[in-house]
Amino acid sequence: MSTTSGSPPVSGRLGTAHILFLIVAAAAPLSAMVGTVPLAFAFGDGAGVPAAFLFAGVTLLCFSAGYAVSARRTGGSGGFYASVADGLGRPPAVAAGYMALLAYNCATIGLAGALGYFTQLVLAAHG
């Protein structure tokens, strides 16, 4: 089966748009890390930063094991909603989606506040 212009790609193949959106989605957390990790080393406890990375890595490793099992069962489509719906049903999956939306908005507001606070500290230290 081949794809023609305007039709969806064959299952299991990545098109240019898929790869582009994957790169953009992967770059967003990276840009947040680039902005906050140097500030954590400069103003925070330097030994706590590697410990935070270790904690995050272990947490993501535990999450990835369950996500891999769920992705096999759901076919990998639908992302977070499909995984939660697979395990808990549709109403909890909708609630989890709204909770994720709230969490992302809170993280965005928190990062903007942290950026303002630390920028003020750096500017005050340099006159």
Q: pLDDT digits over 73-96, tens only? A: 777 666 778 888 888 899 999 999
Amino acid letter, 74: T
Give the 3-state secondary structure of residue 1. Answer: coil
The Cα 38–Cα 34 span in angstroms is 7
Give residue for tokens 């790869």.
Answer: 19
Give the pLDDT mean for 38-53: 77
CA 51 to chain centre: 19
Could you give the C-alpha distances from 47 to 34, 50, 53, 54, 58, in angstroms and in order? 18, 6, 11, 12, 17
Q: Which of the two residues, 88 and 27, has the higher pLDDT score?
A: 88
Write down the pLDDT at residue 81. Answer: 82
Token code pair at residue 39: 């500030």
